[in-house]
Structure 1
Amino acid sequence: MTRISRRTALAGFGAASLAAACVSAPLPPQAPAPAADAARPFAPVHSRRDRITRTVVGLRPFRPQGFRLEAERFGEKTVIHNYGHGGCGVTLSWGTSHRAAVMAAETGAEDIAILGGGVMGLTSALVLARRGHTVTVHADVMHPNTTSNIAGALWLPSSLYDRGVASEDFLRLNWQVTREAHRGFLPFVNRPGYGVSWVRHSEVSNRVRDPRYQLPGGDDLYPGLEILTRETRFGFAYEERYHTLMIDPDYYLDQLMKDAQLAGARFIARRFDSLDEVLALPQRTIVNCTGLGAAKLFGDETLIPIRGQLSHLLPQPEVNYSYTAPGHGSALYMFPRQTGLILGGSHGRGDYSLDPSEDDLTRMIDGHAALAQRAAFS
């Protein structure tokens, strides 16, 4: 078994590398922005158990060193790996899936197999099918039952690697991929049926960030950025407020699968239990988007599940903002969707349980209710 290097020549994405040098450099001191709209009243979230419509649990495929995006040779077969994005699979999908598709096309194969029916598999299938390839997607679990369907999917790709483990090469790659992914989502904003829109997001903290680092991919990706140290949301010591993209998987993945099918991609429900079964596929180029499944199929012992639990509340059309805030034991976040409000804030590292946790539910319902109470006095 030999390994071939990742290719980086990408049509239409070359400009993304211009900001790579900014990955780890702290920003110079910046005067706090005036609180232009911080003092305006905003609708509180009604965080109560009687408003819960469903509670779901998913396992994020996390690698401390970051996602895997590379080609690997198995005799006459080439496998393009595209997995391990932690909780950022949806947000990074257009970046790494476009690169994976280009790498697959560069093998010269016309007929390409894709493993995995989540957002990475769907996006890779769409890109390749639109490039004229014959594409077959093999997956044990298909939309709407994938981990991607459970994602919170605010466009803020963070916590997808351990800073003390990830290499400088990965950090530069991640910076570029993040910018590419953002660019890939922009054509879908407010397009009917796709569930992609801008939202005003607040990230609040108990302490002022000094030094302050750029937001993922660069501050220029977040219009209207304000740095606030007074009249902040919920009365915390520090707030970064900006616009970012909100992606609703209930809508977006449905349209993505339809687009891939219209482009000619075929979908086959199939479970693979060994690498030998994968290599028995007739296609000589295979794109591996199996997430946590790569641990068994390809022996990746670095993969770690990070358990995430979300509760959906009844819709509140008047809530037109999102936030991330400190909570007891873990950060809390709230994302608004047409289908309802999403409450989250759990990161069970190494936890494989898919059963809803009563402790997590109580912590999130009470924690978000406490933030709503703080809002009345901030």
Structure 2
Amino acid sequence: MPNLTRRSVLLGLGASALAACVTAPTSVVTWPPARPFPKVLVERDRITRTVVGLRPYRAQGFRLEAERFGEKIVVHNYGHGGSGVTLSWGTSQRAAVMAGEAGRLDVAVLGGGVMGLTSALILARRGYVVTVYAEAMHPNTTSNIAGALWRPSSLYSRDVATEEFLALNAKVTREAHRGFLPYVNRPGYGVSWVQHSDLTNTVPEQRRELPGGDELYPDLEILTRETRFGFAYEERCHSLMIDPDYYLDMLMKDAQAAGAKFIARRFETLDEVLALAQPVIVNCTGLGARTLFGDETLTPIRGQLTHLLPQPEIDYSYIVGGLYMFPRKTGLVLGGSHNADDWSLDVREDQVRRMIDGHAALAEKAAYSTYSEP
């Protein structure tokens, strides 16, 4: 969801996957086994909806810390860029620990997206009296629009992030991955494994591990021949896929079942926030923290997704440069736009056209691809 430079941000899911972590040796597989390759039907009359969302990006990375305002403790848990769903279990568990260290039972959670819901669920299950305040609730949050392949992306700038943050992020990433595992194939949650491919036109001189470490991606293969779509280089593995339409619905129900209460409310100022009765506040407001807490380091990265009718036979996903396709029960998700510092929520026809034309061209290549040796 391309318009950011590679030096300024981990661009897109594909670039993040190929260039985000430490260098690691790997073997090269040149001839994968035969496998059926269903064609994605990319046609304009199969479009069901196009949605736009704004990722809350901080060049230095997410904010995860406690701050005191008089008698109030505010635990900040925001600024995850394009990794909100991905990192939700990692940072929210740490935020819950920070909230608990205040030693008070009543906790307010600000924000109804994936961070707010996850923080509320964890705290409620630990016995806290939790009230969630949010202007937008499921299914009308930015998290509902996420592509939600489990792959940290658009998260920080390599030029700005500190070594301390990078070390924290490495730990949080692995903790977040573990948080999703109990939900895989659990009825109703929309979490599953999918065979995924990252593809590029060139073979990297030095390969880097996938975000969080290669061991988080089962069946990893590095291909330089007979690749999907005929590209020069492919990293193929299984990755977790989360369908927000299902997952956030169940997450909210779980939080309510654990005792969390939800109140629709818009906050205009920090004073309004600090006037809440709860002595501990967990701030999961995303871009809203720019206004409420004066965090001007927050900037939006605009993303636009086009959804197609479902194709149950499509059991793979891919990222090719500025394009990606993720399969869901609710439909196929076509994405690949990253517009930095862009606050517009309007659908752009030129981006719809780029998605349709680009993925249609890939689908035609797939229709003639084989895994047989020439």
TM-score (norm 2): 0.92
CA–CA separation in structure 1 for the residues paired with 2:42 and 2:166: 37
Where does residue 333 of structure 2 map in the other structure?
342
1:193 pairs with 2:184:
no
* Unpaired stretches in structure 1, ≥5 consecutive residues: 1-22
5 Å matches for 1:263-342? 263-326=258-321, 331-342=322-333
2:14 corresponds to: none
Equivalent residue, structure 2, for 1:13: none
Residue 27 of structure 1 is matched in structure 2 by 24
Q: What CA RMSD, in Å, does the superposition of the two structures yield over aligned residues?
A: 1.0
User: Which residue number in structure 1 is paired with residue 347 of structure 2?
Assistant: 356
Aligned to 2:151: 156
- Give CA deviations for 1:28-59 in whole Å, capped at 9, x if unaligned: 3x33124323x534011111110000110000
Amino acid at match of 1:33: V
Paired residue secondary structure (2:188): coil
Number of the residue aligned with 1:10: none
Larger relative contact order, structure 1 or 2 (CA cutoff 8 Å, min sep 6): 2
Residue 87 of structure 1 aligns to a residue in which SS?
A: helix
> Which residue is 1:130 aligned to?
125
1:371 pairs with 2:368: no
Q: Is the 8 A contact 2:30 2:224 kept in 1?
A: no
Runs (4 or more) in structure 1 with deviation over 3 Å come to: none
CA shift, 1:109, in A, is 1.1
1:36 to 22, 32, 37: 32
Aligned amino acid, residue 291 of structure 2? K
Which residue identity does 1:150 align to in structure 2? I
Task: Give 1:138 deviation, angstroms.
Answer: 0.3
- Aligned twin of 1:15: none
Q: What are the Cα deviations for residues 43-92 of structure 1, in whole angstroms up to 9, with x where unaligned? A: 11111110000110000001111111011111111110000011110111
Tell me the equivalent position of 2:10.
Answer: none
| SS state at 1:185 partner | helix
* 1:208-229 Cα distance to aligned partner (Å, 9 max, x none): 1221111010000000000000
Instruction: Write the distance in 1 (CA, Å) between the matches of 2:162 and 2:350.
Output: 36
In the TM superposition, 1:181-260 aligns within 5 A as 181-260=176-255
> The residue matched to 1:352 in structure 2 has which SS?
coil
* 1:25 partner amino acid: V
Cα distance in structure 1, aligned partners of 2:343 and 2:353: 20
| Structure-2 residue corresponding to 1:11 | none
CA–CA distance in structure 2, aligned partners of residues 212 and 165 of structure 1: 23
Q: Which runs of 5+ in 2 are unaligned?
A: 1-19, 370-374
The residue type paired with residue 248 of structure 1 is D
Identity %: 74
